[in-house]
Each structure stands twice: as C-alpha cells, then as structure tokens.
Amino acid sequence: MTTEARIDWAAHTTRLVDAATADRAWYQAVARELVAPGDRLAVDVGCGGAGMALALARHMTCGRVLAVDAEPAIVDVARARIHDEWADPRIRVDVALVDIDDVDSLAETVGGHADLVWASGVVHHLGDQQRGIDALAALLARGGRLALAEGGLPTRHLPWDLGVGDPGLELRLHTAEDRWFARMRAALPGGRPMPYGWDEALRRAGLDPVTTATTLAELPPPLPSPERRAVVNRLANRVGRLRDTGLLTASDLDTWARLLDPGDPRWLGGRRDLFLLEARSIHVGRRG
C-alpha cells in the first residue's frame, strides 16, 4: 500500500474511542432500528471503539455480537472497552482480528450466516468496493441485513466569516479533504472505480429491497465546554492530516494555526458560535 493510501490506525485509537463515546446516543438509535427480534448473530465490521458492537448487544435478546477489525491496536482497545462495559451473559460480545479485505478470512471468522452486518466508514477504504460489499453480503443468512454507514453531508462547525483569514475557511477544508480522499482511493492496491451509489452497489450484491435513511445530528451554539473541546480537537485532527499534503494553502494553514492555538486570541475554543451540523446516511440491503 502506498503512502497516500496508508493510514496509521494504531495512532487513532484514542480518537476512535472518544468518537464512539460521543456517538453513543446515535449508535443506540440506529441499533434500535436495525436489530430484529430473532437476530442471533450481528457483526460489526471495522469496529473501531466498539460503539456499534455494544449498541447492537443492548438491543438483542439473545445470541452473539462479533466485532472485527484489521488493526491489532484497535482490536485491543475494542476488547478492553467491551470488557469494561458489557456483563450481560445472554449476549456474547467477541472481538476478532481479521483483514476485512480478505474475503475468505472474513467468512471463516464470522463462522456462519449473520442476521445483521454493520460496516461504518469501512468499504471506502477497500480497493475494490463492490467486491467488498459482495463479500459482506455473502455473510448474511436468508432475511439478513447488510447496513453500510457511508455518505451523507460533511460536518459543519464554523461560521463562514471568522474574522481571521479569508471567509469560507471550513468549505476549503472540505474541498481539500475531498481531494485527499480521491488521492487515497487512487493509491489503494487493486483499486477499481465504483461509478454508482451505495444503494446500487447493494443491489448488485444481490440484496433486495434496499433502503437509505439519513439522520441529522445538530448541536446549536453555544456548545457546552466538552462538546466545544471535541469540535476543536476534531478540527485539529483533520487539519493535521492535511498539513503536509499541499492541499491547503499556506495562508489557510497560518489561519488554522492561529485558530487551533489556545494561546492565540483567535482560538476556536474561546468562541461561543461553534456548532455541530451533520447528516449521516445508512444504506440497508436485505438478503431474500
């Protein structure tokens, strides 16, 4: 895998756990809609901080949840979090290390047909996205559902004019991230274009019916201190990833340096007009 495509996920374990904790209510709401009364096996593919694995377990009445990830450090973190938070003997919650780009390994690890497979922000990291979706669909029992959390709208946090730098700073960050994403996709080994939407990809995997639902996450200003800190940290991570890519101008990087410096009068953490506005799409296909 080339440098453009490689992401050091081990360095992101703390961020993934923080995100899973912050999104607890969202995971619970989504799991409530996805889990069916008779489900006995649910699989969280690319489990990160185990947020969805735990939410699925809380809505199942029996059976097993299997959380899988390809990064050993993430598997360790997920296992520790599940150990700390899960104690209901009716539902087993297991964690496994598996390369989710390895179809045979994934099928062997799941060890049977799943009633529900969840994959959030995972498939777009695979070179051949359709092949990955086909593999996930093949894990399903008859009547089982594959749920992909992909797409939606970029998260917004900032006013258009911040009084420092050129207006539209966050919009240019989104543009730079889109260009970075295109570079990442182009550099993936075995990369193939998927010139159609996620719903169509699920249909091509043999699933029908296919539905899409989008949820809105909104926190208006002024944000409480913990949420404001989380927004600033998220922006710092996003800017940090792009810092040496050449995708942000020197002027914008200087502006971000001021906005993210707690010692600067323009520090974002001191503003009362930060907000959170985000739309997340979930695409669900059912095996007939």
- CA–CA gap between residue 226 and residue 138 (Å, rounded): 41
Domain spans in the chain, listed from the N-terminal domain onward: 9-286
Mean pLDDT of 228-242: 93
What are the φ and ψ backbone dihedral angles of 19, each rounded to 5 degrees?
-65, -40
Can you name the CATH fold of 9-286?
A: Rossmann fold (3.40.50)
Summarize the confidence of residues 187-209 as an average pLDDT. 96
Mean pLDDT value of segment 35-55: 95
Q: What are phi and psi of 21, to 5 degrees?
A: -70, -45
* Distance separating alpha carbons of residues 99 and 74, to the nearest angstrom: 12
Residues 6 or more apart in contact with residue 33 via CB below 8 angstroms:
213
Q: Taking 90 as the threshold, does the pLDDT of residue 66 lie above it?
A: yes
In this structure, what token pair is assigned to residue 148? 């992909």
Question: What pTM does this model have?
Answer: 0.91
Number of Cβ within 10 Å of residue 24's Cβ equals 12
pLDDT in tens, 50-64: 999 999 999 999 999
